[in-house]
Amino acid sequence: MGSPRLRVAIVGGGIGGMTTANALARRGVDVTVFEQAPQLGEIGAGVLMTPNSVRLLERMDMGPALAAVGARIGKGSQYYRMDGTPVAPILTTDSAGWNGMYGMHRADLLAVLANGLPEDVVRTGHRCVGFEQDAGAARLTFDNGESAEADVVIAADGIHSVLQHHVVPPASPVHSGSVAYRGLILRSRVPFWASGISQLWMGEGKHFLVYPVRSGELINYVGFVPSDEQTTESWSAPGDPAALAAAFAGWDDRIGRLLAEVEQTFWWGLYDREPLDSWTNGRLALLGDAAHPMLPHLGQGANQAMEDAVAVAVLLSEADRDSASQALADYERLRLGRVAEVQRGARANGQRYDSAYDDLDQRDAEISGSVTFRSWLYDHDIEAEAGKLVAAR
C-alpha cells in the first residue's frame, strides 16, 4: 500500500488560499479551506494579473475563464508625467512577447478560483482561533467550536494573520506615508477613455493609476496621495470624491474628466512589513500577505501569493506526512529571497512614482530602465523552479 494522501488545511479563502487549494487539489492532495466569512467574497476593486501568475492559472485550465471576465491589457500602456507628457511604455509581456496581463475585479478572480474546486473543499464561517502541532499532526480550533486536524497548515489569512505569531514574533506595520483612493467607473460613463491599456501618471508625492477590469466594462482607478494619518489597512473605508478630485487638480486633463464621474470612492492605508526571517515552523507555513505584505507599486501582491501557492503545492505533492515539514522548509528556501526583493522593489517604485527626485530626468530614466526588473518578475516560472527542487531531493 502507498502512503495515505497528505491532508492540508488552508486558513483563509482569499486569492492566495484559493489558488493554493486549486494547485494542491490538481496534484491529488487532500485539501480543505477554512474561511472566517459566512460566504466567499472579495471587497475592493481591481487587481492586476501579470504573466508570472497568469501562466500558472492557464496551466490549471483557467485560461478561458480568466479571458471571459478579465480585461486584457496590452500595447499602448504608458507612464506619464503629471501633465500628460509620455515617459515610457508599461511592459505588458514577458521576454518572449507573450501578453499575460489582465485587469481583474477581485470578486471575479475569486469566483474563477472557487469554480475550480469541488464544493466540499471550502468551509465558510470558520474563524481560526487556535493552532498547535506535534510530531504527528497539526490541529486548528475555530470560534464556532469546531476543530480540524491536518498534516500541514497553510496560513493564507492576510496581513492581519492570526497564525503568523506561531512562526515569527509579530511584525510591526510600516506606514508608507500615503493612502490610496480607489474605485470603479462604468466604461460607458467615460467613452473618451482609451480601452485595453493601463496608464500611470507621476507627480510630486502622488501618482494616479487606471486600468480596465470586468471585460473592459469597468474602469479601475487608484489615486495615491500623501497622508500622515495612520489610516486603516481596510480597502473599504469611504473616501471623499471631492478631496480626491482636488488632490489631482491641475494634472493631465484626462484625469480631471475621469474624476468628474466619480460618485463614490474608498480609501486604503498603505502599509507593508519588513521581510520576515522565516515563513515556516514545522507543519505550519505562511503564504501571501501573511508572509510578505507589500506595497502595491509593482502590482505584485496577489501575483506573488499565486507564485507561493504553486510553489508549496509542487513541493507538498511529492511529500508524505513524515516529510511534509521538510517540504515546507524547501518552500521557504525557494521563495524567501525573491519575495524580499519584490517587497523592496515595490517600496523603491513608490518613490519613483511619487517623484522623490531632485532631477525628474533621472526618475524617468529609471522608469524606462525598469523593464529589466519587470522582465525578471514576469519571466519567472515558479512551477519549474519548484520542480527542480523536487527532482534534486
50 phi/psi in degrees, rounded to 5: -115, 165
pTM (whole model) above 0.85? yes
Mean pLDDT of 252-259: 97
Catalytic pick among 79, 102, 211, 353:
211
> How far is CA 103 from its chain centroid?
12
Distance set, CA 325 to CA 54, 136, 165, 289, 316 (Å): 28, 11, 18, 21, 9
Domains of the chain: 7-172+273-391 (3.50.50.60)
Amino acid (1-letter code) at residue 279:
W
First to last CA, the chain: 22
357 included as an active-site residue: no
Compute the chain's Rg from CA coordinates: 21
DSSP character at residue 91: P
Residues with Cβ within 8 Å of residue 384, at least 6 apart in sequence: none
Could you report the per-residue pLDDT of 22-62, keeping only the tens digit for each?
A: 999 999 999 999 999 888 876 668 999 999 999 999 999 99
Could you report the per-residue pLDDT of 309-364, keeping only the tens digit for each?
A: 999 999 999 999 999 999 999 999 999 999 999 999 999 999 999 988 999 999 99
Closest Cα to residue 247, out of 198, 177, 347, 180?
180
Whether 228 shows a pLDDT value over 80: the answer reads no
